[in-house]
Structure 1
Amino acid sequence: MNILKFIALGAAVAYGVSYLTKRDANGHSIVDDVLDKAPDLVNNLKKYGQDALDKAKAKAV
């Protein structure tokens, strides 16, 4: 029974990787889009983290 679980999980992972790396008409994949937006996402996360720290410090005082 465990071997069937591993086969199903492997098939799901293979399909997911295939879907994420498939190119559209413009030649971009979902992974390419995420990697292009990554620096902006990191900067936004840093801002949100700093805002959360500032609010936590304000409540502590």
Structure 2
Amino acid sequence: MQVLETLPDILERDCGLQPAAVSRVQSIIDDLRDQIALRVTEAGADDEEELQQEE
């Protein structure tokens, strides 16, 4: 995940990406991070539910 956090800085510094484009990239990364967190949370809840059903 750290790579995703540093990507906008790398794109701006090393690739000369304009600030507006960097902001867009950051927004997309933030959305992806939120989606990943949601799916991990849902998967954990599903696993817990399965364990309870087995008992």
Query: Whose helix fraction is larger, Structure 1's or Structure 2's?
Result: 2
TM-score category of the 2 structures, normalised to the smaller one: 0.3 to 0.5
Output the TM-score relative to the length of structure 1: 0.44
**Higher Rg of the two aligned structures:** 1
Query: TM-score scaled to structure 2, two decimals?
Result: 0.47
